[in-house]
Amino acid sequence: MKYKYFLFDLDGTISESAEGIRESLEQAILRLNKPLPKLDDYTLYIGPPLIDTFKNVCHFNDEESHTGVEYYREYYNTKGKYRNKLYKGIDEVLKNLKRDGAKIAVCSSKFEKFAEEIVSYLDVRQYFDAVCGSTIDGSRKDKKDLIPYAVDALGGDILKDCTEIVMIGDTFFDAKGARTCGIDFVGVEYGYGAKQSMIDEGAVNFASDTAELYDILSK
């Protein structure tokens, strides 16, 4: 295979997660006695760091945003995370890549503890050599920081091994992170992001479904 290290986004790439994320976001906003913004456009809040969603989508100040994150995580931990389900065929992609000798990590802006719990809940934890997510204090939340962290967790070096690393995701944030870190990117069209926004960040390889995704990654 062309690549040795495979970094998978979680929401919109491995897991259909919109229902639980939206529900948790709504509950946090209501708990703060704030009006609900329109949340029909998943691209606004699935992909970016959670703190940015409260600031940019809900237009909360810093204090309100941090409180919103706390309320979101409380609800998500007890109810929201159980709304996740695997995309059809993604477990086969992971299983086959693992069989082929790939080193695989989750690379998500989601709080790392939740990412661990979700891949275990979805029964695909055995395919990952590492599960890498954001920190609770927000010090590691952007893909430009998460990608080197995930590569290191797999035993690689972001500078020396850049031609052997690929990021797989469904949003502008994934594509931008890959470009910023100097690694390849494969976009999935079945997720929540807009294809054009990924193209605008230099993405050229796309998979329409999980079968096509494995064909691209296994070459």
pLDDT in tens, 35-73: 999 999 998 899 888 999 999 999 999 999 999 999 999
Tell whether 118 and 55 lie within a shared domain: no
One domain, residues 121 and 205:
yes
Are 209 and 153 found together in one domain?
yes
Do 91 and 66 share a domain, yes or no?
no
pLDDT band at 13 (very low <50, low <70, confident <90, very high): very high
Find where tokens 């994934």 sit. 174
Domain's final residue, options 82, 99, 115: 82
Residues in a beta bridge with 165: 5
Residue 41: how many other CB atoms lie within 10 Å: 12
**Cβ atoms 202, 175 nearer than 8 A:** yes
Mean of the pLDDT values across residues 100-128? 96
Spatial separation of the C-alpha atoms in residues 72 and 29, rounded to whole Å: 8
Structure tokens at 140: 């590691």
Q: Among 36, 60, 82, identify where a domain stops.
A: 82
The angle at the Cα of 96, spanning 90 to 100, to the nearest 5 degrees, equals 145
Helices (H) and strands (E) in the chain, counts: 9, 8
The whole-angstrom separation of Cα 15 and Cα 91 is 10
Asked whether residue 64 falls in the same domain as residue 91, the answer is no
Distance of alpha carbon 155 from alpha carbon 91, whole angstroms: 23
Q: Which residue range is the domain that position 119 belongs to?
A: 5-16+85-217
How many domains is the chain built from? 2
Q: Are residues 53 and 133 in the same domain?
A: no
Question: Which residue, of 82, 108, 125, is where some domain finishes?
Answer: 82
Is the distance from CB of 124 to CB of 94 less than 8 angstroms? yes
What is the C-alpha separation between 156 and 146, in angstroms, rounded? 14
97 and 69 fall within a common domain: no
170 and 71 assigned to the same domain: no
Whole-number pLDDT of residue 139:
82
Q: Does one domain contain both 11 and 25?
A: no
Q: Which two tokens stand for residue 137?
A: 């204090």
pLDDT at position 128, please? 98
CATH at residue 198: 3.40.50.1000
CB 24 within 8 A of CB 68: no
Indicate whether 64 and 158 sit together in one domain: no
Model pTM score: 0.93
